[in-house]
Every structure is written in C-alpha cells, then in structure tokens.
C-alpha cells in the first residue's frame, strides 16, 4: 500500500519512503479528528488513515482519484474531488478539523493562506513542503528568511520544524530538500488590532523588505507628523515580531 508511481503533477513529487511517511503520519495528534489530507496522490499517507470514520482526502488529479478508489475501496475513504484552494471547506466541516499532507511545492504558500482563512476551525497542520519554505515559516524575527508567511502564521499558530527530508526518497526526485513542519493553533482568538489591516500592513512592509518601514509604508504615514518620527519606522520589516506588527497596525489605524 502507498507505493508510488513515476508521476508528477502540479509540482508534486511523490514520497516513496515508508518510514518517512510513517513519521509524518505520527506527527499529527492522535486526537486530531476530523482529518483532511491535501494532495494524497498515490496514498502513501492515506494508508494510515483511510479506515478512520472522520478522514477525508482532497485531490484534484483524476488519475490519482481513480488510483485511490481502486486501492482503498472501503466506503470510509471520502475523497473531496477538486481544487482544495477553491473549496468551501465549511460545507464539509462544520466544526474544527485538522490537515495533513505532502503539499505540492508550487501551491504550498497558497495552501497556508487557505489555512489562515479557516484558522478558527483548523487546529493542527502537519505537512511536508520545500525546506526553504518550511524554514521561512518557522523562522524568528531578525533573519533574511523571516517574511510574510512567518508573521501571519505565527500570529495564530505555534510552529515546529520536525525534520528534513532528502531528495532521493521521492519519485521523481526534486532538485531541493524538503521538510516536515507542524502548526498548532495558539490561544489567540483575535489580534489586538484590525485583522484585515494587520494582513495588509504585513504584506506592504515585506513588499519592499530592503527598505525601512518609513519608506515601504510611506503611503500610510504621509502627512501624519504625529507618528512619522516614531522609532519603529526606522526598522526594516524582518526586525519586527508579531507583537510589533500588531502595535504597528494599531499606530497606523489610529486616525
């Protein structure tokens, strides 16, 4: 079960190492149900969950769907057919749910923005992604890789970098290393600022990350002499923690 065919779609590289697959599966909490697997492909992770009553698999590729149905004919395997990025997941999950998967490299960032969209329902995510993206998400302030996803995800989730995965365990082998990370929802129910403004300001700040906030947020502070000379605007965005960005949003929203 869970064997891998030599097939690639949507930037996905299929895992063929059963030990690593088991380690990923073990990364999710035993109480993490319902569980949604994103991009099951040929079922290397699916094999550990398909017989559970609250397990779902979201897959867009017709060939993979056909393979999964043939390999796991049990009625308990519920496949959500289609692009998970376009799905209204509230139709399938009324309450809280959790996510696991070997995310396609080229849409992994979009999947995380989907997670943020459902942050009030998604308690835990365990996923394998490109190592560079994993490091960026788990990174702390003050480094070159700290960025938009670092801030937005860390605002609502505790991030654990679990382990690195090397290229040779995939079919076809990618040109980069992968990593497995775990996101666990923190206790922040709501930020102490307007969330939409927070998202907008974080994205604007990192849109010109080599510049100080005074320059990247010029349009937000223009004509506002009462805040223009504040010390925080002398910093570059990678120096700011989540709490700092909350403060920055409060400052800019106070008109």
Q: Are residues 169 and 204 in the same domain?
A: no
> Does one domain contain both 51 and 167?
yes
pLDDT at res. 53: 81
Q: pLDDT confidence of 243, banded at 50, 70, 90? A: very high
**178 and 201, same structural domain?**
no
| CA–CA distance, 74 with 37 (Å, rounded to integer) | 17
Task: Bin 37: left if φ > 0, else alpha if -120 < ψ < 50, else beta.
Answer: beta
pLDDT > 70: what percent of the chain?
A: 94
- Residues 120-145, mean pLDDT to the nearest whole number: 95
Q: What is the structure's pLDDT at 222?
A: 87
pLDDT of 5: 40
Structural domain includes residue 203: yes
pLDDT in tens, 27-50: 998 777 899 999 998 899 999 998
**In this predicted structure, what is the pLDDT of residue 80?**
95
* Mean pLDDT over the full length of the chain: 90
Q: What is the pTM (predicted TM-score) of this model?
A: 0.91
Q: Is residue 2 part of a domain?
A: no
Same domain, yes or no, for 171 and 202?
Answer: no
pLDDT at 200 over 50: yes
Query: Is residue 240 in a domain?
Result: yes
pLDDT of residue 74: 65
CB 233 within 8 A of CB 252: no
* DSSP-assigned beta bridge partners for residue 163: 180
Lowest mean pLDDT among 6-10, 13-17, 107-111, 200-204: 6-10
72 — pLDDT class (breaks 50, 70, 90): confident
Domain boundary among 185, 204, 235: 185
- The answer to whether residue 183 scores a pLDDT higher than 60 is yes
pLDDT score at 241: 97
Cα first-last separation, the chain: 60
What pLDDT is attached to residue 92? 94
**190 in a structural domain:** no
Same domain, 135 and 156: yes
* CATH number of the domain residue 86 falls in: 3.40.50.150
Q: How many residues does the chain have?
A: 255
Which pLDDT does position 196 carry in this prediction? Answer: 96
Q: How many domains does the chain have?
A: 2
Residues 93 and 206 reside in one and the same domain: no
pLDDT above 70 (res 184):
yes
- With respect to residue 163, please indicate whether it lies within any of the assigned structural domains: yes
Are both 76 and 154 inside the same structural domain? yes
The pLDDT, as a whole number, for residue 7 is: 42
| Same domain? 168 vs 205 | no
Domain identity same for 27 and 131: yes
CATH number at residue 209: 1.10.8.100
pLDDT: which is higher, 64 or 3: 64
Q: Residue 192, class by beta-carbon neighbours within 10 Å (0-12 exposed, 13-18 middle, 19+ buried)?
A: exposed
Residue 233 is part of which domain span?
195-253
Q: Where do we find the tokens 């799905």?
A: 87
Cis bond upstream, residue 172 (ω within 30): yes
**Chosen domain end from 164, 185, 206:** 185
Q: What is the pLDDT of residue 2?
A: 40
164 assigned to some structural domain: yes
């Amino acid at each position: 079960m869970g064997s891998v065919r030599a097939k690639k779609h949507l930037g996905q590289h299929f895992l063929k190492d059963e030990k690593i697959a088991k380690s990923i599966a073990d990364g999710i909490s035993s109480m993490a149900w319902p569980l949604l697997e994103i991009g099951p492909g040929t079922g290397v992770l699916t094999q550990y969950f398909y017989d559970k009553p609250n397990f779902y698999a979201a897959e867009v590729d017709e060939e993979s769907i056909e393979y999964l149905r043939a390999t796991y004919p049990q009625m308990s395997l519920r496949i959500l057919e289609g692009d998970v990025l376009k799905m209204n997941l509230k139709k399938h999950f009324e309450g809280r749910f959790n996510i696991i998967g070997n995310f396609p490299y080229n849409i992994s960032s979009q999947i995380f923005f989907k997670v943020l969209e459902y942050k009030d329902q998604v308690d835990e995510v365990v996923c394998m992604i490109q190592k560079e993206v994993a490091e960026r998400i788990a990174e702390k302030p003050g480094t070159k890789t700290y960025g938009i996803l670092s801030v937005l995800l860390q605002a609502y989730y505790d991030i654990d970098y679990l382990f690195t995965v090397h290229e040779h365990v995939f079919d076809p082998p990618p040109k980069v290393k992968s990593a497995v990370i775990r996101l666990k929802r923190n206790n922040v129910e709501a930020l102490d600022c307007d969330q939409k403004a927070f998202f907008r300001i974080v994205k604007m700040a990192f849109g010109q990350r080599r510049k100080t906030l005074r320059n990247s947020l010029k349009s937000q502070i223009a004509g506002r002499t009462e805040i223009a000379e504040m010390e925080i605007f002398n910093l570059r965005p990678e120096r700011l923690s989540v709490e700092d960005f909350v403060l920055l949003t409060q400052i800019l929203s106070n008109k």
